[in-house]
């Protein structure tokens, strides 16, 4: 290994990084060796192309790291406010859960518009949701949703925690009412959720992101019949039909009838 203590810091770090990539390649590019820390150093040095991303396991690991990086760093791209874990129960239809999440998003924004006594909520003012599916050990389908508020709710008397009014309680109240309405409209089993406010410490956001993406690995996919959570994860502004909310927008959830038997049921 080339080493010179008189080298400038930047060159020394670049050499160390190159040596680490070479060791990874000589070791057969084992995916376990491609840590999030190595990903971060390679990204900062603009050297991600040096990894063997043509290998499925390495490519999948890099995709996961990129998503974790986006969710754990404060950036204008997606600076989320709340992490909400929504549980649908034992092996529900994925198509149904996606419809429920879309409707819950609409009801949530509609509630905030009413809460603020606004007559109009633009697309820009609507909240953004990134929802990552997770099966877990017991087969219960969860969605780990990272929510970025558009308009912030006004804190009122019903939004209290330990006798004190705060935004977390208002958001929790809104999500609870939205999911209750979806549960009634779609005739589902009880939908449960847990809500966590984003803290200032980056390590907390990193823990949430790593936990939420733990099943987005090539190994997990192979052990679970090829189920691909990357193909199933949701972004509200991409996967849902987002429109402004006005005074004439429907108050109730409209459920579109579906065939009694779907391809998902058959599979």
Residue ranges per structural domain of the chain:
9-72, 82-240
Predicted confidence at residue 259, as pLDDT, reads 58
Contacts of residue 122, defined as CB under 8 A and 6 or more positions apart, other chains included, come to: 244
Longest dimension (CA), the chain: 73
Contact residues for 76 (Cβ-Cβ < 8 A; gap 6+):
none
Distance spanning both ends of the chain, measured CA to CA: 54
Give residue-wise pLDDT tens across range 23-81.
Answer: 555 444 454 567 888 888 888 888 887 777 778 888 888 889 999 998 988 765 688 99
pLDDT of residue 2: 44
Count CB-CB contacts under 10 A for residue 247: 8
- 245 touches 126 (CB < 8 A): yes
Q: Which residues of the chain have pLDDT under 50?
A: 1-2, 7-8, 11-12, 15, 26-29, 31, 266-267
**Burial (0-12, 13-18, 19+ Cβ within 10 Å), 160:** middle
Whole-number Å distance between alpha carbons of 19 and 47: 12
Q: What is the pLDDT of residue 171?
A: 95
């Amino acid at each position: 290994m080339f080493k010179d203590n008189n080298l400038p810091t930047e060159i020394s770090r670049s050499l160390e990084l190159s040596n680490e990539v070479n060791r990874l390649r000589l070791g057969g590019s084992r995916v376990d060796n491609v840590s999030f820390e190595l990903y971060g150093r390679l990204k900062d040095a603009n050297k991600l192309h040096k990894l063997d991303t043509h290998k499925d396991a390495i490519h999948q690991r890099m995709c996961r790291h990129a998503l974790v990086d986006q969710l754990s760093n404060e950036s204008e791209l997606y600076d989320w406010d709340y992490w909400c874990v929504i549980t649908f129960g034992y092996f529900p239809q994925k198509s149904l859960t996606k419809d429920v999440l879309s409707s819950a998003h609409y009801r949530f924004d509609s509630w905030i518009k009413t809460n603020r006594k606004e007559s109009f909520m633009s697309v820009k003012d609507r909240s953004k949701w990134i929802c990552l599916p997770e099966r877990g050990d017991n087969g219960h389908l969860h969605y780990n949703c990272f929510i970025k508020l558009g308009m912030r709710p006004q804190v009122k008397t019903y939004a209290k925690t330990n006798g004190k009014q705060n935004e977390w309680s208002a958001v929790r109240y809104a999500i609870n009412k939205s999911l209750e309405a979806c549960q009634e409209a779609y005739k589902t089993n009880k939908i449960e959720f847990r809500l966590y406010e984003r803290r200032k410490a980056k390590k907390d956001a990193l823990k949430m992101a790593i936990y939420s993406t733990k099943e987005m690995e090539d190994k997990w996919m192979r052990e679970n019949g090829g189920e691909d959570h990357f193909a199933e994860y949701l972004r509200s502004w991409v996967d849902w039909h987002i429109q402004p909310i006005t005074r004439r927008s429907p108050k109730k959830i409209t459920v579109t009838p579906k065939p009694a038997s779907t391809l998902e049921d058959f599979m």
